[in-house]
């Protein structure tokens, strides 16, 4: 989950999240705050790794009965290999997610949460580009072990637009020859897919 160390969780509280996890009987909790390197949303910024890791250690000292996993959600890591390497070198991380929020278009970089402002006829091409970018990230040498929110564009599908159809966004499958070296398989673990967040200032 995200905490106060992610720009889109201003009301987040790592310590309070740990308290709540214990209250409801969870044995563990994972914090994967945003490491984004583009700025398309108001106030968007990359996680402060020094502050984040310090907060992780303070929570581990305070909540000894709870397993607290550190981590980051890397946004478009294949666009920013140096910045990504700096994040991963900042300290030990238990979970590293790779995510696509943005695509490049002639008008500039666009976050998928902004798709609903586009004309309905532009949506299929924009979503196909989102999945092409996802595939490019998977096939890149960037190291992550879980693919985050593959349903991201669907969450912001415009009211009144034609229904979202999986076939509309079909793209080629990752070739099997790429998988041993592809980022999502780099740890030799079974890749995981994460879903279920909303982002940006778009009403739900």
What CA–CA distance (Å, rounded) separates 94 from 79? 23
What CA–CA distance (Å, rounded) separates 110 from 40? 7
Q: pTM of the full predicted structure?
A: 0.81
* Pairing mode, strands 102-105 and 28-35: unpaired
How much is the pLDDT for 188? 33
- All structural domains of the chain, each given as residue ranges with its CATH number in brackets, are 14-194 (3.20.20.140)
- CB contact at 8 A, 78 and 100: no
The dihedral sign for the CA sequence 133, 134, 137, 139: negative
pLDDT per residue, tens digit, the chain (204 aa), is 999 999 999 899 999 999 999 999 999 999 999 999 999 888 889 999 999 999 999 999 999 999 999 999 999 999 999 999 999 999 999 999 999 999 998 878 999 999 888 888 888 889 999 999 999 999 999 989 999 998 899 888 888 777 777 654 444 444 443 343 344 334 333 445 444 544 443 222
What CA–CA distance (Å, rounded) separates 49 from 89? 10
How much is the pLDDT for 9? 92
């Amino acid at each position: 989950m995200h905490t106060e160390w992610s720009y889109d969780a201003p009301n987040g509280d790592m310590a309070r999240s740990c308290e709540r996890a214990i209250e409801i009987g969870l044995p563990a909790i994972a914090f994967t705050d945003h490491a984004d390197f583009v700025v398309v949303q108001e106030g968007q910024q990359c996680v402060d790794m020094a502050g984040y890791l310090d907060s992780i250690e303070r929570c581990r000292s305070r909540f000894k009965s709870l397993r607290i996993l550190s981590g980051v959600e890397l946004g478009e890591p294949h666009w920013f290999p140096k910045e990504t390497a700096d994040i991963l070198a900042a300290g030990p991380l238990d979970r590293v997610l790779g995510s696509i929020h943005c695509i490049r278009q002639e008008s500039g970089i666009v976050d998928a949460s902004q798709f609903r402002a586009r004309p309905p006829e532009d949506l299929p091409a924009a979503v196909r580009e989102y999945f092409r970018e996802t595939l490019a990230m998977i096939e890149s040498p960037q190291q992550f072990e879980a693919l985050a929110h593959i349903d991201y564009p669907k969450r912001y599908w415009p009211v009144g637009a034609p229904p979202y159809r999986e076939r509309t966004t079909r793209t080629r499958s990752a070739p099997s020859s790429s998988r041993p070296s592809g980022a999502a398989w780099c740890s030799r673990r079974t890749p995981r897919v994460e879903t279920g967040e909303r982002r940006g200032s778009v009403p739900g």
